[in-house]
Structure 1
Amino acid sequence: MNPLKPVVPFEPIMADQLPSGEEWIAQIKWDGVRMLVYYDGVNQTRLINRKGNERTQQYPELLDVHSYCNANSVILDGEVIALVEGSPSFHQVMKRDSLRSDMQIRARVQQIPIVYMIFDVLFYNGEWVTGKSLLERQAILQAIITPNNHVQLVPNYNDLSLLYEVARKHQLEGIVCKNINSTYALNGKDGRWIKRKNIQDVIAVVGGITYRDGTINALMLGLYDEQGLLWYIGHAGTGKLKVSDWQKLTELTRSMIQEHMPFVQIPQRSKGSIWIRPELTVKVHFLEWTASRTLRQPSIQAFVEIPPMECRFE
């Protein structure tokens, strides 16, 4: 297998209960962008996100692999985060992730500093290490990574319940519990890694908008079902978007307006709504699902580059 050919990283499954046993460790679940760093040992470094999209240009701080890793060749797995007052901000890291202009990227390097939180290694010095245990892979990371201002190793914690309470107290997204004996399954997702969230989130499709004084002030959100039908799940006008973001969105959506409602059912708050082509996707935090399959207290976090048809009910 070509080590620089993008792979699909291992994913944890969602759980309502924490696992028990000495074979489990816990790590903070950072609210950032899952990123794999590929270094071929010669001169090519690539950054590829979980969906297989190239992000090498967006994070120049991570391209000099030898400044933080002494491996001859390597694939690292981790999360790119942006901190605001000590807490990770998905909205801020997406401002970096969405940039395409070299000039804008250079400016934002100073304005929005990022940290790469490394938690795994897949390939090391010409060999795949995915068949080794997590304990062995973490020993490799300890030997090859030198932390700096932009690169850190994600620490382990043995007290899962305590870490979960700390994450909840500080309003962090949650924790990931991992079996220290687990191998790394490429394109896998099973109970060897378990995530428990404090904050529920969903990537939703924008199918409608409302205006106040000529500027968009709320989004109408939806998810697709197995038949490809878009169902309305809520109406969100609060969150991380600033006045300038709403103004840019107003301009962007002018060419997306359509007469046809994209949702299967008529939303409760449809009066004054304008329908748009369901092409934009957005990450939303929410309190819980209601009995009618809508979101309680949805809060907009950031727009994301995920194909709308991938936004489905689980």
Structure 2
Amino acid sequence: MAPIHPGTLRSPPSIAPMLAVPGPLPVPDADWAFETKWDGVRCILSSTGDGAVRLASRAGNDITVTYPELQALGSELRGRGVVLDGELVALDDSGRSDFGRLQSRMGVVDARRAGRLALDCPAHLMIFDVMYLDGRRLLGVTYAERREILSALGLAGAHWSAPSHVHGRGSQVWDAVVREGLEGVVAKRLSSPYVPGTRSAHWRKTKRVETLDVVIGGWTQRRGAAKGVPGAVLVGVTGPSGLRYAGSVGSGMSEREQGELAAYFEVLARSTSPFDDPADVAGAHWVEPRLVAEVTATEWTRGGRLRHPVWQRLRPDLTRLD
């Protein structure tokens, strides 16, 4: 591919992000590259090369004012018209992305407040693709070539970087992600083009999840169902002082399981919460903490709640109904 040189400044096109499909790691994996899946929000960055940058969310909303610390990237891109794809994250002290920290930055539209937050909880842009450079669309260029072009830009700063990717060796990358407690892996076919706004099988995301046993302490009514049928259960984990509230779990339950739980809840009903800490859930019904369930979740939030919990099954071997 011919080298790309800086050209006349022009407005870069608006390009919607390409999306990955969920699935297992590809095997065999010789034709794939593997990247860390960062726990943040998607961000498309564009610049005419005049020293300013524009940030857009996955939905196309302008979020430039929300993250003023990324304006400094404009100096590094001066003279280069570009559209970059990446993930905005907030890093903890160990360098892991912490979605809870990033939430304090999201949705801020007041420039002065955004500036203060940028000092207290700076964002970092993990750049993993380039779709346009110096007047040329790169959508039809292969992933492998686009990564070479991105690497040649040499983008590295206090609030942005272009993390490396690995060709093949998907199982080794997965092991490293699990060991480091990261969110997951994104596999990308080396020959794949960039297809804007499309969820493509050329990109595959595999999330790391934790499986744990939780105690059911309450439930909420399923909307549109007969009285007493749960739509979600309120769960907790046992701590030093008793049962600590861990969140609401509704995703993953079948109608059969909901009916089975409804029969249990009728017997185990109580008038007060069994949780030691507040569980402020509208329309909550409380039960004796006898039922144990297995759930999966991506992580614990900073507030001690399960993030993205999914119901797996009731654990009759651990349930106490006596």
TM-score (norm. length: structure 1): 0.65
Choose from 169, 174, 183 the match for 2:179: 169
Q: Deviations over 1:11-58 (max 9, x none)?
A: 111113433232111010000111000113346531111122221001
Question: Equivalents in 1 of 2:48, 2:223: separation in Å?
Answer: 39
User: Residues 157-196 of structure 1 correspond to what in structure 2 (within 5 A)?
Assistant: 157-158=166-167, 159-196=169-206
| Residue 169 (structure 1) shift | 1.5
5+ residue gaps, structure 2? 1-9, 211-217, 225-229, 238-257, 273-280, 285-300, 315-322
Q: Deviations over 1:79-103 (max 9, x none)?
A: 1111112211001112112322222
User: Residues 111-150 of structure 1 correspond to what in structure 2 (within 5 A)?
Assistant: 111-150=120-159
Comparing 90-99 and 264-273, the one that deviates more = 264-273
Percentage of identical aligned residues: 24
Counting matched residue pairs gives: 239
Question: Equivalents in 1 of 2:191, 2:223: separation in Å?
Answer: 37
User: Residues 69-84 of structure 1 correspond to what in structure 2 (within 5 A)?
Assistant: 69=77, 72-84=80-92
Q: Deviations over 1:205-256 (max 9, x none)?
A: xxxxxxxxxxxxx9969999xxxxxx93443689xxxxxxxxxxxxxxxxxx
Question: Equivalents in 1 of 2:62, 2:221: separation in Å?
Answer: 27
Amino acid aligned to 1:105: A
Choose from 99, 103, 109 the match for 2:108: 99
Question: Equivalents in 2 of 1:270, 1:40: separation in Å?
Answer: 63
1:43/1:71 CA distance change after superposition, 3 Å:
closer
Amino acid aligned to 1:51: A
1:270/1:140 CA distance change after superposition, 3 Å:
farther
Question: Equivalents in 1 of 2:139, 2:178: separation in Å?
Answer: 31
Match of 2:293 in 1: none
| Residue 143 (structure 1) shift | 1.6
Question: Equivalents in 1 of 2:220, 2:14: separation in Å?
Answer: 34
Match of 2:64 in 1: 56
Amino acid aligned to 2:98: S
Match of 1:15 in 2: 23
Amino acid aligned to 1:175: V
Question: Equivalents in 2 of 1:162, 1:172: separation in Å?
Answer: 14
Q: Which has the higher strand share?
A: 1
1:128/1:5 CA distance change after superposition, 3 Å:
closer
Question: Equivalents in 2 of 1:29, 1:270: separation in Å?
Answer: 43
| Residue 116 (structure 1) shift | 0.7
RMSD over equivalenced CA pairs, Å: 3.6
1:67 aligns with 2:89: no
1:289 aligns with 2:311: yes
Question: Equivalents in 1 of 2:235, 2:64: separation in Å?
Answer: 32
User: Residues 12-51 of structure 1 correspond to what in structure 2 (within 5 A)?
Assistant: 12-42=20-50, 45-51=53-59
Question: Equivalents in 2 of 1:223, 1:112: separation in Å?
Answer: 39
Q: Highest CA radius of gyration, 1 or 2? A: 2
1:143/1:223 CA distance change after superposition, 3 Å:
farther
1:40/1:70 CA distance change after superposition, 3 Å:
closer
Comparing 4-13 and 265-274, the one that deviates more = 265-274
Question: Equivalents in 1 of 2:146, 2:198: separation in Å?
Answer: 17
Amino acid aligned to 1:285: R
| Secondary structure, aligned partner of 1:194 | strand
Amino acid aligned to 2:191: N
Question: Equivalents in 1 of 2:38, 2:219: separation in Å?
Answer: 26
TM-score (norm. length: structure 2): 0.64
